[in-house]
Chain A
């Protein structure tokens, strides 16, 4: 078995999920320079809403990707509503406050959402119902599962779609203009508040899909799952250059691959002194290294790069 190839495949899959979540961080940061710490919790809510829906349908004996798809289709509007609500209640009133205020507000929302999720779904790990047969395919000494292929395809399409919207449409142009100079964008007739809300809407939609895919891939979910996932995705966004869409995608994939290679090799390289459980450490070490050498991240422009 080709360990290297296998870990790269696993890393790309995990990384594509990081990337999808990282897009939400980076778009919001790009437009209002706020690290939306509650974003990981939006992913968690997406995963758990998806889980509840999928469980309901699965209990009638239905199986297959259609069931997952319905879970996604319910999770998306739920997370969008949640994201809009968070922006409206926790961030918009603080738009002109010192920068620490919305940050603290974000952490508060994050904790509140975790506790609300614990009330609704309980504190135990919940198992995603087994609705997929998940066949495996062999490619050159490694294995890729159907779930992995679907994740790669879905995240790829969504990232492309996000990029197209931001770079090629009038709406995306207005988003970028608002990020670079909100008051002049206002002069041009852009309702900047609406653009900010739309940014949260897009990020939350992506978070919903990421949540259900994470649940489907790893098979479990609970009210704290958004924390580490959010931290990793935020790391990916910073690694790639926060504010940059391409950076979020690159950072996510890179982080996933490095973590998985670390998990695959750390043990054997160090004769077992450092086990695969140190792969998180490896990921954050790399983040520090990149930031020391290139403070604006891999794809961030020098100075204040935004969307």
Chain B
């Protein structure tokens, strides 16, 4: 298994506040890895640094062996990284179709784009029904589908997801997670940040547990599910 993403001693700061305190992690080609942790643990800061939205204060981010740290944000998608940001970040006054087209902004292969669009509509028929609607008029769940569909339109090598289940009804969460699991099974590498630890651990192969800006724990998802510390802190169970 080759390493797709490798993070070394990553530090993210907001002014004086150190939100990520020198973490190490790696993701292999084809894996679905999750990063779980409580609110404020530093998950979003980590992901945003990987996606180029935040400049790391120090540390190394290597993608396919190459250093990403100083790449301008708009070049990362061409390298193969796509982020579904926290809060979805759809373009509210663009239509569903236009949002999806934005996901494929840097692509030139028309037939491939058409195939991917059909694939997205197959995964999320709701989006096809609403293709002409402004994204701002969609429900939260539909916006999450759109944000994921838009990221998939870039045909990334690594899909970064920030709390896709946040604020959604259980049925919607199921729809979205089944799509995430499917794209992972089809070979896409996925890094999934979640507060819904149970769901995340059930979907993933490996997990990192984050607390106070540091990685506390790193194991296979199954080990995590049966680990007493994780059960107590993140699954709401007594051991």
Which residue numbers of A lie inside 8 Å of B, CB to CB? Answer: 170, 173-174, 176-177, 180-181, 183-192, 301, 305-306
Contact = CB atoms under 8 A, between A and B. Distances in A.
Interface in B98-140: 98, 101-103, 105-106
A187 B93 contact: no
Contacts of B154: 188-189
A306 B91 CA distance: 11
Contacts of B72: 191
* Pairs of residues from A and B, 7 with the lowest C-beta to C-beta distance, nearest first: A189-B106, A186-B73, A184-B89, A189-B77, A180-B91, A191-B74, A188-B105
Contacts of A176: 91, 93-94, 98
B74 A186 contact: yes
Contacts, number: 69
A205 B183 CA distance: 46
Given A189-B74, A190-B105, 13 more contacts: A170-B105, A173-B94, A174-B105, A177-B91, A180-B91, A183-B89, A185-B91, A186-B53, A188-B74, A188-B103, A188-B105, A191-B74, A301-B93
B51 interface: yes
B91 A187 contact: no
A184 B91 CA distance: 8
A180 B92 CA distance: 7
A88 to B, nearest CB: 17
Interface residues of B, number: 26
A2 B180 CA distance: 69
Contacts of B103: 188
Contacts of A186: 52-53, 73-74
Nearest to A180: B91
Contacts of B75: 189
A306 B92 CA distance: 11
Interface stretch (B6-14, B78-86, B188-196, B197-205): B78-86
B76 interface: yes
13 contacts: A173-B101, A180-B93, A183-B53, A185-B91, A186-B53, A187-B73, A187-B77, A187-B82, A187-B89, A188-B77, A188-B154, A189-B77, A189-B154
A306 B101 contact: no
B49 to A, nearest CB: 13
B209 to A, nearest CB: 26
B39 to A, nearest CB: 22
Contacts of B77: 187-189
A187 B76 contact: yes
B1 to A, nearest CB: 27
A173 B100 CA distance: 11
A187 B52 contact: yes
A185 B102 contact: yes
Nearest to A178: B91
Contact of A170 (B82, B89, B94, B101): B101
A176 B98 CA distance: 10
A184 B105 contact: no
A165 to B, nearest CB: 15
Contacts of B89: 181, 183-184, 187
B78 A189 contact: yes
A181 B53 CA distance: 12
Nearest to A305: B93
A294 B116 CA distance: 43
A224 to B, nearest CB: 38
Contacts of B78: 189
Contacts of B85: 184, 187
Nearest to A172: B98
Contacts of A187: 51-53, 73, 76-77, 82-83, 85, 89
